[in-house]
Amino acid sequence: MDMRSLLRTLEHATLRDIALVCVADALVGASFGAISVSGGLPLWVPMALSLLVFAGGSQFAAVGVVLSGGSALAAVATGLVLNARLLPFGFAVSDVLQGPWWRRLLGAQLLTDESAAFALQQHDPRRRRAAFWICGVALFVIWNLAVLLGGVAGGLIGDTDVLGLDAAFPAVLLALVLPSLRDRGTRTAALTGAAAAVAVTPFVPAGLPVLFALVGLLFAGRPGATPHAGKAGKAAGTDPAGPEAAVSAVKQEAR
Amino acid sequence: MMPLYAVLLLAAGTYAYRAAGPLLGHRLALSDRLRHLLAVAAAVLLVALVATGALTQGHGFAGWARPAGVLVAGVLAWRRAPFPAVVVAGAAATAVLRLCGVG
């Protein structure tokens, strides 16, 4: 596959949007590296997570659980529940990842909220493929570089509490999740879950409260149950809390 | 601490989610209900992480400075401020409150 012919396949507007998402994600990655290392983890941990897991939300979640004193297994469980959303994205873009088995296996690692969203925006099969691969490869390179730079910078910071960096971790996650809370069912489930997690924090081992939040799923409603969800979900062809939310947030931010 | 085996477990599980669609896509379909639940589960966990990360430290309250900073960041994110501004303002608000002696 030739990267240059892929680039020619896409419109300028799409390429610009992909670049904007890459810049935004570079900042998230740099914060992830800095927060992990300044919180006390050795640099190889955020780097290994970024290269091998390559899913920002779950990387933040796993590191957050561990830095708050939770066990490594609680961190893994949280990350795995969080990343389960990649499963339907994989089915949604499976037509993009055709070809020899090695290309499918390689492409699978590049599947993220962002690359899925850009692929799903395109209707022509060639453009779908181009959007997926360009966004996936660019994000993989930029994300890992940003985490490395952030991690090195984080090692230079002395007292992180004086700088308020402990607030940066929840702040990053809040900025990431906010767009998906426009759907009422999702919002109710998330707020119920968060209340449950905070309520059990004094009584259960660190790392587990977040998993308790999943009781909130009882309030998740049905797909398209609210008028808003029905419209947004059907127009975009995916769930309102799906990958479009992240990308549209970035695009709105750029305007 | 995050040992290597934990990183590898998370990586292997995440890769399995990613590869299932491309490898099995033509033989199997996910129901709308399951897709919806998985998307909501991700939002539920993220918001729970925000809440516990902002409010708690160990088994107790984290003090007022941190949740106040997160609130500032949340308002800015809601008003669609650029991402760097959101994060820096959140941290700065917490830092300034601590400088003023708020816990």
A194·B8 Cβ contact <8 A: no
In which band, very low, low, confident or very high, does the pLDDT at B57 lie, cut at 50, 70 and 90? confident
Nearest C-alpha in B relative to A30: B84
pLDDT confidence of residue A161 = 80
A223 falls within a domain: no
Q: For B24-54, write each residue's pLDDT tens digit.
A: 877 777 788 888 888 898 899 989 989 999 9
CA A125, CA A96: separation in Å to the nearest integer? 7
- For residue range A122-148, what is the model confidence (pLDDT) as tens digits? 888 899 999 999 999 999 999 999 999
pLDDT band with cut points at 50, 70 and 90 for residue A39: confident
Number of domains into which chain A is organized:
1
A68 touches chain B (CB under 8 A): yes
Confidence at A234, pLDDT banded by 50, 70, 90: very low
In the prediction, which pLDDT does A225 show? 53
Domain ranges in chain B?
1-30, 31-103
Count of alpha carbons within 13 Å of A167, Cβ hemisphere only?
Answer: 30
Residue of A58, A148, A51, A59 whose CA lies nearest to A109 = A51
pLDDT at residue A254 is higher than 80: no
Minimum-distance CB partner of B2 among A75, A210, A220 = A75
Average of pLDDT values for A170-190? 89
Helix axes A243-254, A12-38, angle to 10 degrees: 100
> In this complex, how many residue pairs, one in chain A and one in chain B, have their CB atoms less than 8 Å apart?
315
pLDDT at A11: 86
Per the rule left: phi > 0, alpha: psi between -120 and 50, beta: everything else, A205 is beta
Say yes or no to pLDDT of B56 above 70: yes
CA distance A114 to A161: 32
The answer, for A77 touching chain B at a CB cutoff of 8 Å, is: no
Residue among A72, A88, A107 minimizing CB distance to B38:
A88
Instruction: Please tell me the distance from the alpha carbon of residue A34 to that of residue A24, in angstroms, as a whole number.
Output: 16
Token reading at A147:
């985490």
Residue position matching structure tokens 């290597």: B4
A215-224 average pLDDT score: 84
- Supply the pLDDT for residue A32: 92
Is residue A216 predicted with pLDDT exceeding 90?
Answer: yes
| Enclosing domain of residue A65 | 12-182
What is the pLDDT at residue A50? 98
Q: What is the mean pLDDT of residues A160-173?
A: 84
Q: What is the pLDDT of residue A228?
A: 42
The residues in A 177-206 lying below 8 A from B, measured between CB atoms, are 177-178, 180-181, 185-186, 189-191, 193-198, 201-203, 206
Please tell me the distance from the alpha carbon of residue A148 to that of residue A150, in angstroms, as a whole number: 5
pLDDT at B16: 97
pLDDT band at B98 (very low <50, low <70, confident <90, very high): very high
Per the CB < 8 A criterion, the answer to whether A53 and B11 are in contact is yes
Question: Nearest-CA residue of chain B relative to A203?
Answer: B59
Q: Where are the alpha helices (DSSP H) in chain A?
A: 3-9, 12-38, 44-48, 56-67, 72-83, 86-92, 101-109, 113-121, 125-156, 165-177, 184-200, 209-212, 227-236, 243-254
How many other β-carbons are positioned within 10 Å of the β-carbon of residue A40? 11
Query: What confidence tens digit (pLDDT) does each residue in A83-102 have?
Result: 998 998 888 888 888 888 88
Closest in A161, A164, A194 to B93, CB measured: A164
Among A183, A170, A168, residue whose Cα is nearest residue A230 = A183
Does A21 touch chain B if contact means CB atoms closer than 8 Å? no
Note whether B49 and A59 are within 8 A (CB): no
pLDDT top residue among A172 and A199: A199
CA–CA dist A242, A204 (Å, integer): 31
Inter-chain contact B95–A76, Cβ cutoff 8 Å? Answer: no
Say if A214 falls within a structural domain: no
Other Cβ atoms closer than 10 A to B88: 17
Mean pLDDT in chain A?
84
Give the per-residue pLDDT at B3. Answer: 94
Give a yes or no: residue A253 inside a domain. no
Q: Which of A255, A29, A251, A10 has its CA nearest to residue A119?
A: A10
Q: ipTM of this model?
A: 0.89
In this model, does residue A1 exceed pLDDT 70?
A: no
Q: What pLDDT score does A243 carry?
A: 55
Nearest to B38 among A49, A87, A176 (CB): A87
Please report, for residues A49, A66, A95, A203, the alpha-carbon distance to residue A207 in angstroms, rounded to integers and kept in the order given.
Answer: 18, 7, 37, 12
Average pLDDT over residues A17-36: 89
Query: Are A138 and A22 a contacting pair, CB within 8 Å?
Result: yes
Residue A245 pLDDT level (bands cut at 50, 70, 90): low
pLDDT of residue B42: 86
Measured between alpha carbons, how far is residue A89 from residues A42, A165, B66 in Å? 32, 33, 35
